[in-house]
Structure 1
Amino acid sequence: MPSPRVRRRRWPWIVAAALVVLLVPIAFIVVPILTHQNQGTAGQDRPVDEFPVQVTASGDDGRERALEVFSVRPGMTPDLTALEPGQRLIVSGTGYDASQGIYVAICVIPSDPTVKPGPCIGGVPDQEQTDVAEGTVQYAPSNWINDDWAWKLFGARSYDDEATGTFTAYLEVGDPVGEGFDCRVDACGIFTRNDHTALNDRVQDLYLPVAFAS
């Protein structure tokens, strides 16, 4: 049995090892947030004319991004002028910076492209991961895309292809009326924007205007 002196010598090493185990994962999460440098805006003109199902823009970071929405019914084009709660949409994008996570949601359109979109329907993020079979498509009022392993533990989806910055999100249209906004009256759109790790960076803020059925 180790003597009391030996046990006392071991305690600092045990504490140090425990701190390393605790602090290293935290560093992986916190350091990118603290060191992120804003890249400018997405370069999308505002307002967008009519209700297209696809938009493209060249961001200040030199990336050409494309955002498109599809109907869950093959061969059908979604009518973005008459959305209804509970309706399901598939949103795809390419050219995004996969080193940075994004949220995909229906949000109020700010008149100034340097202002963060929002508020958003359903909040961001909104992921329900309980008792869901592996591989099952999950529709939610908002989707969270992030390739970082640490954020995947909290329900983030992966990019489809990191090299091309391609993603797929599955939206279920929520209640158009929320605290301080009403998408039946306010101008709203299906948005992509950087996630909470770069909240003030507007370079991935693409959107498609939407309206709700009366």
Structure 2
Amino acid sequence: MRSAARTVTRAAVAVIGAGALTLGLASTASAATVNRTVTDGGTTYNLSVTAPNTAAAAGANVTVSGTGYNQSQGIYVGLCAIPAGVNVNNPATWNSKPTPCLGGQDETGTTGASHWINNDWHWLSPNNSSPYTPGANGRGNFSVNIHVKAQISSSVTCGQGGVTCAIVTRADHFDSNDRKYDVYVPVTFS
């Protein structure tokens, strides 16, 4: 009796352990976190963005989360082509605006392809914008859903013709030339 109970218990532990291993592998393979430290106006921000690094080519809704942002700086979250000369592993090369982006700036919220995070004007576009949520040390956090697909435009498709893509954050249209808030999470499509 005792031996049978031990065997059942061991089998249950093995199944639970295998399930935990599978979940651990799935989350590691399906999402990535990129960190960046920037200084803006004498204040240092430790930015962190977590997003899926794979998606279905035909399209998928994905959740993108970020922490550590300057709540006074609005950002866009979206899928963009990585500009020529930008190495996503080297922030010193992040001198060009990530573009083109799926859905463009989408200030009206009609495509669902990007999301605008802005504490002052988010109410102007309730379909695709929201304020930061308060984080540690007064920094801004967010968690948003966006729709991504491989074809960004009629002439640009991620994974074709040398086009590589990433889910990015970038300064909003009030400061679109500011590269401090660019963060890239490379994504491939299957």
TM-score (norm 1): 0.61
How far did 1:175 drift? 5.0
AA in 1 matched with 2:188? A
Distance 2:82 2:149 in 1: 16
Counterpart of 1:207 in structure 2 is 184
Measured in 2, the distance between the counterparts of 1:105 and 1:68 equals 12
Q: 1:151 and 1:81 mapped to 2: Cα distance?
A: 29
1:169 paired to 2:148: no
Q: CA deviation at 1:87?
A: 1.0
Aligned with 2:113 (options 114, 138, 141) = 141
The one-letter amino acid of 1:188's match is: C
Bigger CA radius of gyration: 1
The structure richer in strand per residue is 2
- Structure 1 gaps of 5+ residues are 1-49, 70-77, 130-138
Q: Check whether the contact 2:55–2:188 (CA below 8 A) recurs between aligned residues.
A: yes
Q: How far apart are residue 126 of structure 1 and its match? A: 5.2
Contact 1:108–1:119 at 8 Å: present in 2 too?
A: yes
SS at structure 1 position matched to 2:174: helix
Q: Could you list the per-position Cα deviations for residues 86-112 of structure 1 after superposition, in whole angstroms to 9, with x for gaps in the alignment?
A: 311111101111111100000011224
Decide which of 181, 184, 187 is 2:156's aligned counterpart.
181
- Whole-angstrom CA distance in 2 between matches of 1:198 and 1:94: 20
Amino acid at match of 1:154: S
TM-score, normalised by the number of residues in structure 2: 0.68
What 5-or-longer segments of structure 2 have no aligned partner?
1-28, 87-92
Asked if the contact 2:103–2:152 (Cα under 8 Å) also holds between the matched residues in 1, the reply is: no
1:107 aligns with 2:80: yes
Q: Which of 64, 67, 70 is the matching residue for 1:91?
A: 64
- Distance (whole Å) between structure 2 residues aligned to residue 167 and residue 82 of structure 1: 21
**What CA deviation, in whole Å up to 9, does each residue of 1:12-62 have, x standing for no partner?**
xxxxxxxxxxxxxxxxxxxxxxxxxxxxxxxxxxxxxx9861011111332
Count of aligned residue pairs for this structure pair: 145
Equivalent positions of 1:3-152 (< 5 A) are 53-61=32-40, 62-69=44-51, 78=52, 80-110=53-83, 111=86, 112-125=93-106, 127-128=108-109, 140-148=112-120, 150-152=121-123
Counterpart-to-counterpart distance in 2, 1:128 and 1:205: 21
Please tell me the root mean square deviation across aligned C-alpha atoms, in Å: 2.4
